[in-house]
Amino acid sequence: MSKINCIIVEDEPLAVRVLADYISQVPFLDLTATFKDAILATEYLRDNHTDLIFLDIHLPKLKGMAFLKTLTHPPAVIITTAYHQYAVEGFDLNVTDYLLKPFDFERFLVAVTKVRTGEREKHISHESQEKKDFIFLNVQKKKVKISFSEIVYIESQREYIKIVTMKNEYISKMSTHEIEGLLPAKIFKRIHRSYIISVSKIDSYTAEMVEVNGISIPIGRGYRDIIENL
């Protein structure tokens, strides 16, 4: 399984150093960026993908919990804080773990192992989906069967997705993160925070866009290696 990409959102330099040191000792983690406030992290996440966020709560400008609520499709999140009273709110927001400062390496390892286990389960789910060649989705109060071979691309539309096939378009109330978990990973690739495409429908591509079935779709900066590695 590939490494888990992670970022740190923390305004205390000492805490950043401790986290970065711990991350460097875990073979399956890869630290890609650190941010001293949530505004900078938000800008980064618009065009870049990450699997895990180490998030402090008391941040300047935008607090950690408020930042977390702004994420439409949040990755795994591990809260790192000196304040225990936010634990319940954190778990209500589906965080993976809550590390109370100061925490040792052993406790840190327990938290990141939970993330790795979750990634493995998603991987197994993807493999099982690859044995199917269709999916049923809720469309206008009906369960509609959509063949994987017919899908051209999927576009995020806030709390809905638009599935564009060779013959029709469908609107279903779910996120791109949810639909991505139901699609075979070998056949479909996310190339932008708002777009998932069928690899077989690619006509051409550049560093900035992909053309699928005559339609141009942008490539997010954090997803360019996905196209290059096809």
CATH number of domain containing 210: 2.40.50.1020
Last residue of a domain, one of 128, 144, 160: 128
Read off φ and ψ for residue 62, nearest 5 degrees: -135, 120
Same domain, 45 and 121: yes
Same domain, 15 and 86: yes
In this structure, of 3-17, 70-84, 88-102, the range with the lowest mean pLDDT score is 88-102
Contact 93, 149 (CB under 8 A): no
Q: Which two structure tokens, joined as six digits, stand for 76?
A: 């795994």
In this structure, of 19-28, 156-165, 219-228, the range with the lowest mean pLDDT score is 219-228
Same domain, 140 and 200: yes
Give the bridge partners for 212, in sequence order: 202, 215
Same domain, 121 and 164: no
Range of the domain at 27: 4-128
Tell me how many domains the chain contains. Answer: 2
Question: Can you tell me the mean pLDDT for 162-182?
Answer: 89
Query: What type of residue sits at position 203?
Result: D
Same domain, 148 and 118: no
Last residue of a domain, one of 128, 143, 160: 128
Same domain, 105 and 158: no
Same domain, 122 and 149: no
Residues of the chain with pLDDT > 90, as a percent, come to 47
Per-residue pLDDT reduced to its tens digit, 59-90: 988 888 889 888 877 889 999 988 776 555 55
Q: What is the pLDDT of residue 90?
A: 53
Same domain, 111 and 167: no
With CA atoms as reference, report the closest residue to 76 among 44, 116, 106, 16.
116
Same domain, 115 and 9: yes
Please give the sequence-ordered ranges of beta strands (E in DSSP) within 50-201, or none if there are none.
52-55, 76-81, 97-100, 134-139, 142-147, 151-157, 160-165, 169-172, 188-192, 195-198
Last residue of a domain, one of 128, 159, 188: 128
Same domain, 140 and 105: no
Q: Going by C-beta distance under 8 Å and a sequence separation of 6 or more, which residues neighbour residue 146?
A: 134, 135, 136, 137, 163, 165, 170
CATH number of residue 77's parent domain = 3.40.50.2300
Q: Which two structure tokens, joined as six digits, stand for 63?
A: 């607090």
Same domain, 122 and 220: no
Question: Can you tell me the mean pLDDT for 44-71?
Answer: 88
Same domain, 94 and 143: no
147: number of Cβ within 10 Å:
12
